[in-house]
Amino acid sequence: MAQSKKHKNSKKSRKNKQIIITSIIAILVLIVIVMIVTMGTSKQTESTTYAAVVNDEKIEMAYVDKMYNTIDPTVKMQLTKFDFLNMSIIPDTLLYQEVQKAGMTVTDEEVQADIDASLLSMGISNEDLNAQLAAVNSSYDEFYGMTRKKLETLKYVNDNFLPLDVTDEEAKAFFDENVEAFKYNLGENVTYELVSEGIKVGIQIESQKAMVMEKVNELRKSAKILVNNKLLESES
C-alpha cells in the first residue's frame, strides 16, 4: 500500500512540474525588458526586412507581424509591435539559443503526441486546426515546428530550473495571508486543505519563473541585440 501511495505521489509531482514549466513559457510573453540597443541607420536592404538581429540571428518583420496578429485584440490595443518584440520575441530567441547550445532535441513521435493531446484537450480535429492556422496565415508545418521548439524548450527548462520544494508551513502561511481573496473567489467555506496543492504549485511557479527570468536577463546583458526602431515605428 505504501509503495502504491509513493508511486501515486511521484506521478502527481511530475504532473505538477509539467504544469509549472508550461506556465513559465506562457509567462515569458509578459516579460518587461527595458534594455534596448537601437539599430543604426543602414543602407543595406536587410535593414528594411528584419525587425531585429539577436546574436547574429535575424528576426524577420513578417514573423513579428504574424505573431503579433495572434494576440488577443484587447491586449494588442495596449501593446505595440516594438513592445511585443522586446517583451516576447527577443527573450524567446535568447532562451531558445541556449536550448540549441545545450543540444536539446525531441523525437517526431513526441511532437506528434503533443499535438494530438492538444487537439484532444481543445476538442478539435486536424481539419479544424488547419482551418484555424490558415485564418492566421500559418500552416501545419509551421505549427509542427513551433511545437518542436516548445518541447525542446520545456526539456531544457526541466533539466536546468527545477522548482523549489514548498512546505506545508509555507503554503499555510500564504493561505492565511490571502484568506479573504480565497473566500472571494471560492466561497466563504474554502479551507486550506481544499487549496493546499494549488498554492504549492503556484509558489513553485513563481520560484521557477524567477529562475528563468534571471537566466534571460543574464543572456540579455551579454547579447548583441540590434533593433530596427524605424521599421517597427512605420509598422505600428
Q: Could you give the number of structural domains in the chain? A: 1
Q: Does residue 199 lie in a domain region?
A: no
pLDDT at 26: 42
Nearest-angstrom CA–CA distance, 97 and 58? 12
Interval 111-160: pLDDT, tens: 999 999 999 999 999 999 999 888 878 899 999 999 999 999 989 988 99
Nearest-angstrom CA–CA distance, 12 and 171? 17
Q: Does residue 189 lie in a domain region?
A: no
pLDDT at residue 16 is higher than 60: no
Q: Does residue 214 lie in a domain region?
A: no
96 grid coordinates: 531558445
Q: Does residue 99 lie in a domain region?
A: yes
Query: The whole model's pTM is what?
Result: 0.70
Q: What's the start-to-end Cα distance of the chain, in Å?
A: 62
Nearest-angstrom CA–CA distance, 166 and 203? 7
Burial of 199: CB neighbours in 10 Å, binned 0-12, 13-18, 19+: buried
pLDDT at residue 28 is higher than 50: no
pLDDT at 37: 34
pLDDT at residue 214 is higher than 80: yes
Q: Which residues contact 225 (CB under 8 A, 6 or more apart)?
A: 36, 37, 52, 53, 54, 55, 90
Nearest-angstrom CA–CA distance, 50 and 235? 12
Residues 214-218: contacts with CB within 8 Å, 24+ apart?
Answer: 215/95, 215/98, 215/160, 215/161, 216/28, 216/31, 216/91, 216/94, 216/95, 217/33
Q: Does residue 152 lie in a domain region?
A: yes
Burial of 133: CB neighbours in 10 Å, binned 0-12, 13-18, 19+: middle
- The residue-averaged pLDDT of 227-231 equals 85
Helices (H), 103-189: 108-122, 126-135, 140-160, 168-177, 179-186
The whole-chain average pLDDT of the chain stands at: 81
Which domain does 84 fall in, by range?
A: 27-162+224-235
pLDDT at residue 25 is higher than 60: no
pLDDT at residue 24 is higher than 80: no
Q: Does residue 12 lie in a domain region?
A: no
More confidently predicted of 47 and 51: 51
Q: Does residue 49 lie in a domain region?
A: yes
Q: Does residue 133 lie in a domain region?
A: yes
Task: Give residue 45's pLDDT band: very low, low, confident or very high (50, 70, 90).
Answer: very low
The CATH number covering residue 99 comes to: 1.10.4030.10
Interval 155-193: pLDDT, tens: 998 899 988 899 999 999 999 999 999 999 999 999 999
226 pairs with which residues across the strands?
53
231 grid coordinates: 521599421
